[in-house]
Copies of this chain bind each other. A is one copy, B any other.
Amino acid sequence: MKIIITAVPGCGKTTVLNFLKKHAEEDKKNVVFANFGDYMFEEAKKRGLAEHRDGMRPLPKNVQEELQLAAAKKISEITGSVIIDTHASIKTRFGYWSGLPESILKILKPDVIISLEKDPQIILEKRAGDKEREKIGARDKETAEEIDLHQKINRAFVIAYAALVGAAVKIVEAKGEETEPLGHAKQAARKIWDDLKDSI
């Protein structure tokens, strides 16, 4: 089964993925975790286009699209179950750029596209405490309203993607207060794993 997992930055996707890796280990399930950006970067390095991930940002659009295609082909060669970590859309000054256009989707052929969602206010707080992100600069600072909009846009994107390839859209929302550290991510991973593990 091919699963794509998407979320806006600060939603805790990496933490959810770490919990999913633990579940896979515990249940002795063979599943490859593929970070789409890592595959793009590998390709960029091979072609001498970038030496670190951020070095891909200034590349022209058509080059980025070539890297996306190469990454998708590489991931499509993985046999068995794959969980692909990527973005439904990327916010740029041009607008919300489709992270999974038809050309890419038809190579990846996902069965399930997960949209991880969270209260924008919690995302905002997470981002505020995120030193790494702060270094990138104030340019990326969004209001709760803007995060909410990005999440709504992403939801429409994943549905359009599912229509293109006949996939299922799984909305996983973190709700309420966290009752333990990383509680939201733990719950989200538990839900995803319980629902999908039999097909992995």
Contacts and interface: CB of A to CB of B under 8 A. Distances in A.
A63 interface: no
Interface in A42-93: 61, 65, 89, 92-93
Nearest to A195: B93
B112 A166 contact: no
B93 A169 contact: no
Contact of A166 (B65, B163, B171, B195): B65
Copies in the complex: 3
Interface string A139-178: 0000000000100010111011111111111110000000
A25 interface: no
Interface stretch (A14-22, A33-41, A95-103): A95-103
**Chain A interface: which size bin?**
35 or more
A161 to B, nearest CB: 6
Given A96-B169, A159-B153, A171-B95, A164 B196 contact: no
A134 interface: no
A116 interface: no
A160 B156 contact: yes
A199 interface: yes
22 contacts: A65-B166, A94-B112, A94-B195, A94-B196, A95-B112, A95-B169, A96-B168, A97-B167, A97-B168, A98-B163, A100-B163, A101-B165, A101-B167, A102-B163, A102-B164, A103-B166, A149-B171, A153-B159, A156-B156, A159-B160, A160-B160, A160-B162
